[in-house]
Amino acid sequence: MKSQKITVAGGGVLGTQIGLMCAYAGKDVTFWLRSESSIGRTQPKIERYSNLMLEDLAKAKALVGSPMGAFVYPKGLIRDWKSATAESIDALIETAKKNFAEHVHIELDLAKAVADADIVIESMTENPEAKIGMYNALKDVMPEKTLLFTNSSTMLPSTFQSYTGRPEKYCAVHFANTIWKNNTAEIMGHAGTSEETFKAAVAFADEINMIPLELHKEQPGYILNSMLVPFLSAAQALWANGVADVPTIDKTWELATGAPAGPFKILDIVGLETAYNINQMKPDAQVEGSLTNRLGKLLKEKIDKGETGVNAGKGFYDYTK
């Protein structure tokens, strides 16, 4: 049986996108938020992301029939690109508008928010105490049937399973930012996740137009960040050691591998603050003269100038021109 009622705990950047993606795919979605002031912060995000999804659908009409279309169409919004037409995309836009208007709810009362939920997706601040507090509160009010997924990027489900009251129904389903375009769902259980739950997570991801990527065991950073973080660190080390400049490092990667973006273009998308925070977590970050320490200073210099990446208009590259 398909999971139809989805509750998203946390109305931040990712929580909002996940909820809208579920509604887009025809699920009934409730955002559970902490307070009236949270509504004031989440409502504009709901509007912003739903508008972006609708705009990307409208833009996709111009891509129908173009050779580039298959590479750049919003994969989470259009399941079958090969048979897409301007008319079929118009129909998707109309359905999306209806779904966003009718199937997105906000609820401050946690018990009410999860009363009939098939799935609760926890997408709260990456703070273990906040997540534990959430699980403790949830376990007393979730119906027996409810599956519980976490979208945590850096923490493992085994860390929290004992607080959920339903370890066998708990696993990680990790989405990517701009979910409607980057439609991956990394699915990772802990040792006590039941096979049934894991399969349900895979099926759910598919139902909301994600590509399910199954992990067979727990791995900090899942699949993507296990590769991406060392790759970006290697590029930053080349820069901090003065081996080559930023455009040359990017060009080398792009020309040699055919990748559309080199590491510093990716860092501009990720944001330099995130790169800095990851760097500062390394044990030698405070060791004067160490590579990590020097890199931290270089990143901080750019951050202090407001050059934090694409969102700021400037990072390693200038996006204002």
Ligand X SMILES: NC(=O)c1ccc[n+]([C@@H]2O[C@H](COP(=O)([O-])OP(=O)(O)OC[C@H]3O[C@@H](n4cnc5c(N)ncnc54)[C@H](O)[C@@H]3O)[C@@H](O)[C@H]2O)c1
Q: Per-residue x/- marks for ligand X, 80-119, CB under 6 A? A: ----------------------------------------
CA dihedral 66, 70, 74, 78 (to 10 degrees): 100
Question: Which CB atom, from 14 or from 120, has the smaller least distance to ligand X?
Answer: 14
From CA 175, how far away is CA 153, in angstroms rounded? 9
Question: Mapping DSSP to helix (H, G, I), strand (E, B) and coil, where does residue 198 land?
Answer: helix
> Binding of ligand X at residue 151 (CB under 6 A)?
yes
CB of 298 to ligand X, least distance (A): 23
Residue 282 DSSP label: S
DSSP annotation of 187 reads E
183 binds ligand X (CB under 6 A): no
Does residue 21 contact residue 180 with C-beta atoms inside 8 Å? yes
The amino acid at 72: V
Contact characters 157-176, ligand X, x per CB under 6 A: -----------------xx-
Residue 223: its H or E element: none
Nearer to ligand X, 159 or 252 (CB): 159
- Beta carbons within 10 angstroms of residue 181's beta carbon: 16
Helices (H) and strands (E) in the chain, counts: 13, 8
221 is an interface residue for ligand X by CB under 6 A: no
In the complex with ligand X, which residue's Cβ is closer, 33 or 200? Answer: 33
124 binds ligand X (CB under 6 A): yes
> Which listed range, 49-57, 79-87, 128-136, 181-189, lies at the site for ligand X (CB under 6 A)?
128-136
Chain contacts with ligand X (rule: CB under 6 A):
10-15, 34, 38, 123-126, 130, 133-134, 151-153, 174-175, 177
